[in-house]
């Protein structure tokens, strides 16, 4: 029997990104290493940010996104944001949920760029 090509939009959906990523995917190991390093830097990050004002993009998420930019040869922040919008693997690596908004390129301009 031929399947239907109709799209059934559900009102609510739950996607467990952790379960969607293959257990042997290389980014799992890289993410563990990155998270350990970022955890060690957490206190240093705390010292760099003020306790008041508009919340920033978490520096850990920015740095994970920059790692992906280097790994996948993504040439611009705009292209990176587009990939993050649609690619579940990249969203998982950065730490964004399925329904979390992706930052715009202008948001990145307001964030201090780490010195490479």
Residue boundaries of the structural domains of the chain: 25-110
Average of per-residue pLDDT across 58-79:
93
Q: Helix or strand or coil: residue 26?
A: helix
pTM (predicted TM-score): 0.78
Question: So what's the pLDDT on residue 116?
Answer: 47
Higher pLDDT, 49 or 106: 49
- What is d(CA 36, CA 63) in angstroms, rounded to the nearest whole number? 13
Q: What is the crossing angle of helices 59-71 and 26-48, to 10°?
A: 140
- Residue 72 phi, psi dihedral angles, 5° rounding: -100, 5
pLDDT in tens, 5-58: 666 666 666 788 899 999 999 999 999 999 999 999 988 888 888 777 777 888
């Amino acid at each position: 029997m031929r399947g239907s090509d109709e799209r059934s939009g559900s009102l609510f959906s739950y996607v467990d990104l952790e379960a969607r990523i293959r257990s042997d995917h290389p980014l799992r190991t890289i993410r563990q290493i990155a998270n350990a390093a970022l955890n060690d830097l957490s206190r240093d990050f705390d010292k760099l940010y003020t306790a008041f004002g508009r919340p920033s993009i978490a520096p850990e998420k920015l740095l994970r996104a920059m790692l992906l930019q280097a790994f996948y040869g993504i040439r611009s922040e705009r292209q990176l944001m587009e990939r993050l919008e649609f690619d579940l693997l990249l969203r998982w690596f950065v730490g964004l949920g399925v329904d979390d908004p992706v930052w715009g390129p202008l948001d990145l301009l307001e964030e201090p760029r780490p010195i490479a």
